[in-house]
């Protein structure tokens, strides 16, 4: 990896990119939810599981909480497929659900009543969400669990849009069978998100299959090396 990326300034820049990307992506997710035109496949999955868990335990589960739990499970699948797990992977799981709950609890995302405005909010949410995903992936500190799974399939020959669409189609069906809410926005998400990601990757000339993501061990070694140099 380019030595400039493993310098102190390089890591600061990459951490800012990672955090900003996850903040942006989380906001985009909330926009799609507030459009009330159908939530994304992963959110259908989370909502369906929330319904089932509520039936079993009698408790109440937020979208942010289920998003975090699902992240840990998907992380295991990514590890099985031998995808590198980096700082960004763990960071994604820890904070995306928190960001979603923060935006929701503080009413920071508009919730228009007009159908036209809701549709604009839905499409705008997908665009912002996909840009946020590109932005944090470009930090090369490790993809989030869902995108690690997408990257693993991409490296096995599937185009990124097909890999993402296939994964989301599967979780959509499972979530729907569990009672998750499905609408036109859900159907649009299955087909549009992969192509939006492909668009952003093309605009910024980013090749996911060639991304040099650092593992947690790589990052620990590089940071340790930096501190050793400063002390000497």
- SS3 at position 39: coil
- Give the start-to-end residue ranges of the domains of the chain: 3-227
Helices (H), the chain: 8-34, 41-57, 63-80, 87-105, 115-137, 145-154, 160-177, 184-203, 216-231
- Closest CA relative to residue 110, chosen from 214, 31, 202, 5: 31
113: tokens are 């009543």
Q: How many Å apart are CA 118 and CA 31, to the nearest integer?
A: 9
Give the span between the Cα atoms of 183 and 41, in whole angstroms. 10
Sign of torsion over alpha carbons 167, 135, 160, 89: negative
8-state DSSP, 82? T
What pTM value is reported for the model? 0.80
Measured distance CA(84)–CA(135) in Å, rounded:
18
CA dist., res. 153 & res. 167, Å (int)? 10
Q: In a structure prediction context, what are the per-residue pLDDT tens digits for the chain, which is 232 residues long?
A: 566 777 888 889 999 999 999 999 999 989 988 998 987 788 889 888 888 888 888 888 777 788 888 889 888 888 888 777 888 888 988 888 889 889 988 999 999 999 999 999 999 999 999 999 999 888 988 877 887 787 778 777 777 778 877 888 888 888 888 888 788 888 888 778 878 988 999 999 988 777 777 888 888 887 777 777 666 5
Cβ atoms < 10 Å from Cβ of 194: 22
List pLDDT tens digits, range 19-37.
999 999 999 989 988 998 9
């Amino acid at each position: 990896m380019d030595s400039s990326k493993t310098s102190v300034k390089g890591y600061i820049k990459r951490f800012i990119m990672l955090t900003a990307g996850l903040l942006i992506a989380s906001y985009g997710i909330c926009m799609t939810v507030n459009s009330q035109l159908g939530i994304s496949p992963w959110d259908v999955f989370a909502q369906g599981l929330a319904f089932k868990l509520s039936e079993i335990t009698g408790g109440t589960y937020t979208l942010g909480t289920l998003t975090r739990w699902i992240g840990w499970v998907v992380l295991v699948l990514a590890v099985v497929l031998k995808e590198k797990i980096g700082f960004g992977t763990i960071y994604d799981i820890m904070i995306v659900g928190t960001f979603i709950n923060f935006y929701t609890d503080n009413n920071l995302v508009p919730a228009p009543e007009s159908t036209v405005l809701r549709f604009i909010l839905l499409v705008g949410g997908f665009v912002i969400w996909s840009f946020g995903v590109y932005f944090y992936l470009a930090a090369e500190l490790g993809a989030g669990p869902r995108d690690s799974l997408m990257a693993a399939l991409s490296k096995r020959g599937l185009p990124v849009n097909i890999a993402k669409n296939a994964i989301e189609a599967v979780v959509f069906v499972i979530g729907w069978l569990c009672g998750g809410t499905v609408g036109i926005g859900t159907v649009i998400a299955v087909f549009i998100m992969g192509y939006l990601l492909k668009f952003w990757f093309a605009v910024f000339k980013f090749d996911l299959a060639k991304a040099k993501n650092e593992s947690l061990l790589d990052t620990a070694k590089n940071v340790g090396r930096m501190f050793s140099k400063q002390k000497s």
